[in-house]
Amino acid sequence: MAVSNEEVFDVIRSMQNVLVLYWDHASGWKVLNQNSGLLSQKDKAENALTELAEYVQEEDRATYQVFVRKLLSGMKGSRDFVPIKEDRVNVSVHMNAGNDVYTYHEAECYLLKDETGAIVRMNVVVCPLDAEEIYRMQLAQSITNDRSPAMFIRVAGEVVKKNPGAKYALIQFDVARFKVINELYGEAFGDELLNYFLESLKVICNEDQLYARLTADVFMILVSYETNQDILDFIETLNSNLLGYKDITYRLVYGVGFVEDFKNLRKYGDRASTARQSIKNNALEYIKFYEEGLGSTLLKTKDVEDHMEKALQNREFIMYLQPKYSILHDKMVGAEALVRWIRPGKGIIPPAEFIPMFEKNGFVTKMDAFIWEEACRTVRSWMDKGIEPLPISVNVSRIHLKSGLFITTLNNLVEQYKIPKKCLEIEITETAEEEDAGVGIDTLKENGFTLLMDDFGSGYSSLNTLKDTQFDVIKIDREFLQDFIGSKRGQTIVKHTIQMTRSIGLDLVAEGVETKEQAEFLSACGCDTAQGFYYAKPMTVDEFNALLEKQLKEER
């Protein structure tokens, strides 16, 4: 049924305490109501705005609702009060002009706010767009579906001409692990979410903040700024408006590239992309400014990830063993398995350059399983030679602990190589003993494995973890030892930590022992097992075997 302008205006008039003006070419300005004063009841405005949305064309409904939500969020008395930083917001929608003829109108709201930033009055101007304005709007809409940046660059040039002295940056954002959202909720929902972003950007961005959807879930915005904080504030506005669609949990990741030369805008878009991609797997960061060297870091990451599968097949990953010594008897009593990557033509790749990447992309599970088998094979070789086997401790990452599938692999390896379970010890970092990893830790204990808490002292909950811990052995962190052992007060703390740990029935291993004095101090405190450069560096299995055979000969 056709709705006249007057009926639309009747709804607008019902909005309490809002001064509403209307303008058109024929009659100029009209005052639609004479109310003024404070917005004392949020629901009055909310109901009126909701009613007005019924007259908005379906294709523009999402845009209008975002616009309404943005206004209401800043109103006095709102429990979810979020101050709107700008003094003006607007939205362009199709409005019914009568006889079911929809024309483009812009609702522009000038906001009067109190000292807290809450809206206390809105002056709303509703006016039809002229031909030039409609052209500009349709052009911007076409950009959002244009995979080629040519049109974006052309319109960006027009924006810059209006503010020749301004500084500009390109912001790129996307949804972290967007594929997971498609898998969980379906591709139709994924498309709906991306459309929600587009509709929201229409409201959030002003006429000089040019936005575009590049590909898939990647969006880019050109913004002017004076300081970096201006960019951060704008991103926070984006984040607060774009998160929480239909109460679905997802994370947005932002990269920023500073524009230095508009003749090469693509270059700075690439920098924003590089910054964004550098933190996609980092749960602690969601905003990254581009900096020199970031590109080479990403290339290095890509190189590692491109070669990791082939490296595993070619046995480029090598197990090294670092001996654990009895301080009192000055002999090896065990070893820790470590991994080294020896790439043809590149030599040894430091663990710090690939372990963190493998933990992020999940490949660490395959590498761990490889080292587990190498450890079992080594223990079996000692047994075949009639040598009493030393226990080898191997790492189990948190990814394993959360999945629960790793225990089958460990049990199968122990059975396949027919070695005692006590010879395959399991090291887990202290920070891994959290709720989502607890089941995995319990499973290991139930299956008879000896558990070592690695890096004890590196976290904030060290003492708390001892209360109900499932671990058998505590490994004192290298940095904890180095930081505390240098002073009398620090030595007292280390001494009491060792004595307390032993009093509740746990064994200890001290990491990072570098001097004779440190070893003697630890032994006097009740810690007899140590590893570190004072005793031996990590070495190949052949080197370890030679050291073991030498020790056995000396004992005979």
- Does 474 map to a domain? yes
User: How confident is the prediction along the chain (556 residues), in pLDDT tens digits per residue?
Assistant: 333 445 444 544 454 444 454 444 455 444 454 443 333 334 444 554 555 555 555 655 666 566 565 555 444 333 333 334 445 555 555 554 445 555 566 666 655 556 665 555 555 555 666 665 665 555 545 444 444 456 677 777 777 778 888 899 999 999 988 888 888 888 888 888 888 888 788 778 887 788 888 777 889 899 999 999 999 999 998 998 898 888 888 999 999 988 887 777 777 888 888 888 877 767 678 898 887 755 555 566 677 777 888 989 999 999 999 999 999 999 999 999 999 999 888 888 888 888 877 887 778 889 999 999 999 999 999 999 999 999 999 998 877 877 778 899 999 999 999 999 999 999 987 544 454 567 788 889 999 999 998 877 655 445 666 766 788 998 988 888 887 887 888 889 888 888 888 888 889 999 989 999 999 999 999 999 999 999 999 999 999 999 999 999 888 7
Residue 402 domain flag: yes
| Domain endpoint, select from 247, 268, 291 | 291
Domain shared by 150 and 120, yes or no: no
User: Domain for residue 31, yes or no?
Assistant: yes
How far, in Å, CA of 72 to CA of 78, rounded? 8
Q: Are residues 338 and 410 in the same domain?
A: yes
Q: Which CATH number covers residue 100? A: 3.30.450
Domain check: are 305 and 276 in the same one? Answer: no
pTM above 0.75, yes or no: no
Question: Taking CA 400 as the corner, what is the angle to CA 396 and CA 402, rounded to the nearest 5 degrees?
Answer: 130
In a domain? residue 63:
yes
Q: Are residues 521 and 379 in the same domain?
A: yes
Chain centroid to CA 550: 50
Last residue of a domain, one of 291, 312, 344: 291
How far, in Å, CA of 429 to CA of 477, rounded?
A: 10
Same domain, 551 and 527: yes
Q: Tokens representing 381?
A: 């070789």
Copy the structure tokens of residue 122: 């809105």
> What's the domain count of the chain?
3
Length of the chain measured in residues: 556
Regarding whether 311 and 272 lie in a shared domain, the answer is: no
**Domain-located, residue 549:** yes
Shared domain check, 184 and 123: no
Looking at the fold, whether 388 and 265 belong to one and the same domain comes out as no
Does residue 401 lie in a domain region? yes
Domain of residue 426, residue span: 301-555
Whole-angstrom Cα distance, residue 547 to residue 257? Answer: 54
Q: State whether 90 and 179 are in the same domain.
A: no
Residues 79 and 170 in one domain: no
Question: Do residue 265 and residue 350 come from a single domain?
Answer: no
Strands, E assignment, 32-166: 88-96, 102-113, 119-128
**Does residue 343 fall inside a structural domain?**
yes
Question: What CATH number is associated with residue 229?
Answer: 3.30.70.270
What's 486's domain CATH number? 3.20.20.450
Is there a domain that residue 296 lies in? Answer: no
Instruction: Say whether both 340 and 488 belong to one domain.
Output: yes
Helix axes 541-555, 364-384, angle to 10 degrees: 30
Q: Long-range contacts for 382-386 (Cβ within 8 Å, ≥24 apart)?
A: 382/548, 383/419
